[in-house]
Amino acid sequence: MASNYVAAFQLVLFCICMVVANSVEFSHPAVFNFGDSNSDTGELVAGLGIQLSPPNGQDYFKTPSGRFCNGRLILDFLMDAMDLPFLNPYLNSVGLPNFHQGCNFAAAGSTILPATASSISPFGFGVEVNQFLLFRAQVLKLLAGKKFDEYIPAEDYFQKGLYIFDIGQNDLAGAFYSKSLDQILSSIPTILLEFETGIQRLYDHGARNFWIHNTGPLGCLGQNVAKFGTNQSNLDELGCVSSHNQAAKTFNQQLQAFCSKLQGQYLDVNVTYVDVYTIKLDLIANYSKHGFEQPIMACCGYGGPPLNYDSRVSCGVTKVLNGTTITAKGCKDSSVYVNWDGIHYTEAANQYVASQILTGNYSNTHLSEKMPFLL
């Protein structure tokens, strides 16, 4: 009975996304994306020369695709809805990648603040912006020489294109390992000043259309529950770490204020602030209503219920721990899990979040007017 319900729900989601894909009439010819693992399509893998293990990628690409997911990301579903191809990562150097309709600079582990020696990713937001500016300069040189026009953006795409941002999660989550909640809250203005600096640099080089995601409920990720939720008093009624979600909400309030400031500062910009936090929290709080069975437990991991997460062994990896060989394996049916590996969402959850973004109900500016309001 449950499997029939899930199958019916997935069919509804598929139909919704098809309606969205055929209905949204964006005027943007290209997308330039910046962020972390929530939208990384292979940047960190290419940049560090590493390789993800199966079952990453198994349910759509049929092989690891550089995405920390069993399939597609929110960004992939958004690109589909805009009738644009999936974005190639900036550092992809194999198979003559096509960047004609955009490029992805997002890298897993990236932060808004500059990377440190202990950072997972060396590509902080400032570096991602630098990469874009180099990309833009190289494209303009090639266009002047009338070379590779079919593989690179036209010059006016840099002004007409849509600039998407989903970053900040790692600044907050990583800080909890060494700072108190009060210290983290007091650091948010500094984090957002760095973000503003990057946005200003992009504006100075022609960017005018900004689509900015806020950060999700960090306290509901298995990784954070496992580390900071051992004391039940730290958890809320959903089983999420209260301090992490408080930090996320405070960050989002100040991010929204920045977006309003940016919109008011320049008459020629269009800023869309997207409340991803509310969408994700509702998904976790009302998971069964949305066709899921597991809101927090990882599909791909080790340790079994309630979290199926062990920080010592990541999804698809085999290790010897205390003399025993263990493997973080994938679950049988990822479609009923919200969380993929304790940190990232499953394709099914990403599809749901994207479908809600595309209703326009969680956006507060002009682009929402061009999104269908799905009932």
Per residue in 128-178, pLDDT (tens digit) is: 999 999 999 999 999 999 888 899 999 999 999 999 999 999 999 999 999
With a cut of 80, say whether residue 264 has pLDDT above it: yes
Judged by average pLDDT, the poorest of 60-74, 137-151, 292-306 is 137-151
With a cut of 70, say whether residue 367 has pLDDT above it: no
Say if 266 falls within a structural domain.
Answer: yes
Phi-psi region of 83 (alpha: psi -120 to 50; beta: other; left: phi over 0): left
Among residues 65, 166, 341, 363, which one is catalytic? 341
Beta strands in the chain (DSSP E): 31-35, 102-104, 162-166, 209-213, 270-274, 294-298, 318-321, 324-327, 337-339
Say if 333 falls within a structural domain.
Answer: no
In one letter, which amino acid is 71? G
The span from the CA of 220 to the CA of 204, in Å, is 37
Q: What CATH number has the domain bearing residue 282?
A: 3.40.50
Say if 161 falls within a structural domain.
Answer: yes
pLDDT attached to residue 24: 39
Within 13 Å and on the Cβ side, how many CA atoms surround 236? 16
Give the pLDDT mean for 23-30.
Answer: 70
The span from the CA of 82 to the CA of 77, in Å, is 9
Per residue in 205-241, pLDDT (tens digit) is: 999 999 999 999 999 999 999 999 999 999 999 999 9
Question: Are the C-beta atoms of 357 and 78 separated by less than 8 Å?
Answer: yes
Give the pLDDT mean for 86-95.
Answer: 89
Quick count: other Cβ atoms within 10 Å of Cβ 12?
12
The domain total for the chain is 1
pLDDT attached to residue 31: 98
Give the pLDDT mean for 31-59.
Answer: 97
Say if 375 falls within a structural domain.
Answer: no
With a cut of 80, say whether residue 8 has pLDDT above it: no
With a cut of 50, say whether residue 18 has pLDDT above it: no
Structural domain span for residue 24: 2-293+344-370
Among residues 28, 36, 37, 171, which one is catalytic? 37
Say if 336 falls within a structural domain.
Answer: no
- Reported as a pLDDT band with limits 50, 70 and 90, residue 26 is low
- Reported as a pLDDT band with limits 50, 70 and 90, residue 256 is very high
Percent of the chain clearing pLDDT 70 (strictly above): 90
- For residue 344, indicate whether it is catalytic: yes
pLDDT attached to residue 94: 76
Percent of the chain clearing pLDDT 90 (strictly above): 87
- For residue 93, indicate whether it is catalytic: no
pLDDT attached to residue 361: 95
- Reported as a pLDDT band with limits 50, 70 and 90, residue 93 is confident
Judged by average pLDDT, the poorest of 37-51, 95-109, 125-139, 353-367 is 353-367
Give the pLDDT mean for 289-294.
Answer: 98
Among residues 344, 355, 363, 368, which one is catalytic? 344
Say if 38 falls within a structural domain.
Answer: yes
Quickly tell me which residue has 């644009």 as its tokens: 84
Say if 35 falls within a structural domain.
Answer: yes
Say if 320 falls within a structural domain.
Answer: no
3-state SS track over 262-311: HHHHCCCCEEEEECHHHHHHHHHHCCCCCCCCEEEEECCECCCCCCCCCC
- For residue 28, indicate whether it is catalytic: no
Judged by average pLDDT, the poorest of 25-29, 141-145, 146-150, 182-186 is 25-29
64: cis peptide before it, omega within 30°? no
pTM: 0.91
